[in-house]
Amino acid sequence: MSDFPSSKFERGKIIAKTGIKVGTNYAQRYIKKKVGADSGTDKDFHTNNAKEVFKEFSKLRGTALKIAQGMSMDQGFLPEEFAEVMSQAQYSVPPINKALVRTIIKRELGDYPENLFAKFESEAFAAASIGQVHRAELKNGKKVAVKIQYPNVRETINSDMAVARTLAKRIIKKGQDIDPYFNEIRTTLMEETDYKHEGSQIDQFQKRFGSDEIIIPEWIQEYSTERVLCMSFVEGRHLGEFLKENPSQEERNHFGQLIWNFFHEEIRVGGYVHADTHPGNFLFTYDGKLGVIDFGCVKLFPDEFFTNYLKLLPTHLANDQGAIRNLYIKLDVINPESKTQDREEEYYNFARNYGIMFSKPYKYNTFDFSDPKFDEEIRHFTKEAPLSNELRGSKHFLYTSRVHTGLYSILIKLGAQIDTTGAKDILSELLDMEFESFNEPVAVV
């Protein structure tokens, strides 16, 4: 087996082996607990299993590590220890060797890095699911970051999606069309492996959102190809490093507000949305600015879908059940033609209660994401979601949910207190719908 297995058989074998091993571990622990023969802690057990999954997925990289990134943003479905371990998939994957780096750059840019750049650090300072990043300096003195795509990543997408589709067809209710969901994921992953596409998105986002507060790198096109991406270097630290500095509440609020404002400014401006909202894609600079990086996963949502999605916020806050039900039908959350209306009503009630909770930050003029009750509510609803083999909701929920829940996850970890008035003004103007206004912040208990 190669260092970077790309065939459906090789990758499927590793995935199956990992699943069986971790599943066996949990089954054995369950039995030991029943007979009183287990003395280990839950935290250590979950952490060790998460490390096992991460180790095997790191061999696969690509789509497998994208799954790990998703686990790192989990809000209650998996043990908390999984989220902690899988956060490594955002920027701390074991890098490829130096010789391979030189070979890739020579093939893509026509010469070795030491000849192309004034300086090039052979040790990667960040490595994630699709590529790793090196510090370098152009011959004109400009400091840059050079992202190099791992070998075979694009080829693995088809094999991974084929394995996932085969498994899904065994689980999903017969008669349901899974292709739109899989096509959406596959298309997005293919775009993420095209660094020229990412470079053009960096260029567009820099022009639209770059400011005194938001730092977006500059695309260096002459040193970029589909598999090598060169951009100006953004100095800063990730969320985990920032929190280790024991920042003040004022600093937490400041950066949290910048992230919140960036998300809603995207909505105001319209067009493509940065759809990979996880801590690895934000940098907190030392002079108080927010760096936004990694524009491989950007989405342009259909106007009708995105408008209806945003309308869920004020509609849930008003608890207008008729309007909520109508939006759920438009967004394919519930089916009024279904023969099992009891089941549809179960989904409606769950989704409505979850939506009311999820809309809560927009209810107040200030919202405290450090409130443990809010975090507990999110985790509760994730765990209590109705189990089903049915697909629910538009395919576009795959990424709107990822963006919005990712935003909340970062703000919860920051423990930030957010002024929501500007965001509500933006949404009210776009939707021509008023938000109920409350002046009291959420009480921290």
Q: What is the pLDDT of residue 177?
A: 81
In this predicted structure, the answer to whether residue 304 has a pLDDT above a threshold of 50 is yes
In this predicted structure, the answer to whether residue 432 has a pLDDT above a threshold of 70 is yes
Q: What is the pLDDT of residue 66?
A: 58
More confident residue, 264 or 31: 264
Query: What distance in Å separates the CA atoms of residue 20 and residue 33, rounded to the nearest whole number?
Result: 20
What is the pTM assigned to this prediction? 0.81
Report which of 274, 165, 153 is spatially closest to residue 210, judged by C-alpha positions. Answer: 274
pLDDT cut 90: percent of the chain above it: 55
Q: What is the pLDDT of residue 71?
A: 45
For residue range 155-209, list pLDDT tens digits in order. Answer: 777 777 776 676 666 666 666 788 888 888 888 888 999 999 999 999 999 999 9
Confidence of residue 64 (pLDDT cuts 50, 70, 90): low
Least confident of 92-101, 373-382, 415-424: 92-101
Tokens at 24, concatenated: 């066996």
Confidence of residue 72 (pLDDT cuts 50, 70, 90): very low
Rg (C-alpha) for the chain, rounded Å, is 23
In this predicted structure, the answer to whether residue 50 has a pLDDT above a threshold of 80 is no
Query: What distance in Å separates the CA atoms of residue 75 and residue 216, rounded to the nearest whole number?
Result: 28
In this predicted structure, the answer to whether residue 283 has a pLDDT above a threshold of 90 is yes
Q: What is the pLDDT of residue 89?
A: 44
Identify the CATH number of the domain defined by range 98-151+194-299.
1.10.510.10
**Spatial CB neighbours of 351, under 8 Å, sequence gap ≥ 6:** 328, 333, 334
Report which of 77, 7, 419 is spatially closest to residue 253, judged by C-alpha positions. Answer: 419
Tell me the average pLDDT across 390-395. Answer: 83
Query: What distance in Å separates the CA atoms of residue 52 and residue 61, rounded to the nearest whole number?
Result: 14
Tell me how many helices (H) and strands (E) the chain has: 17, 12
For residue range 111-130, list pLDDT tens digits in order. Answer: 999 999 999 999 998 877 78
Q: What is the pLDDT of residue 442?
A: 47
More confident residue, 148 or 74: 148
Tell me the average pLDDT across 369-394. Answer: 81
Identify which of 72-76, 85-89, 99-103, 255-259 has the greatest average pLDDT. Answer: 255-259
Least confident of 48-62, 135-149, 375-389: 48-62
Least confident of 27-36, 98-107, 262-271, 386-395: 27-36
What distance separates the 2 farthest-apart alpha carbons in the chain?
69
Question: CB–CB of 145/234 below 8 Å?
Answer: yes
Please name every residue paired with 219 in a beta bridge, in sequence order, or none if there are none.
231
Buried/exposed 244-277: b ≥16 CB within 10 Å, e otherwise: eeebeeebbbbbbbbbbbbbbbbeeeeebbbbbb
More confident residue, 108 or 176: 108
Helix (H) or strand (E) holding 32: helix 8-34
Query: What distance in Å separates the CA atoms of residue 167 and residue 182, rounded to the nearest whole number?
Result: 12
Tell me the average pLDDT across 14-36. Answer: 57
Q: Say which DSSP state 394 is in.
A: -
pLDDT cut 70: percent of the chain above it: 72
**Spatial CB neighbours of 339, under 8 Å, sequence gap ≥ 6:** none
Q: What is the pLDDT of residue 330?
A: 97
Mean pLDDT of the chain: 83
Confidence of residue 381 (pLDDT cuts 50, 70, 90): confident
In this predicted structure, the answer to whether residue 393 has a pLDDT above a threshold of 80 is yes
Q: What are the domain boundaries of the chain? A: 8-89, 98-151+194-299, 303-431
**Spatial CB neighbours of 15, under 8 Å, sequence gap ≥ 6:** 56, 60, 64, 163
For residue range 206-229, list pLDDT tens digits in order. Answer: 999 999 999 999 999 999 999 999
Please provide the size of the chain in residues.
Answer: 445
Question: CB–CB of 232/144 below 8 Å?
Answer: yes
In this predicted structure, the answer to whether residue 324 has a pLDDT above a threshold of 50 is yes
Report which of 117, 133, 114 is spatially closest to residue 125, judged by C-alpha positions. Answer: 133
Question: CB–CB of 212/180 below 8 Å?
Answer: no
For residue range 129-150, list pLDDT tens digits in order. Answer: 788 999 999 999 999 999 999 8
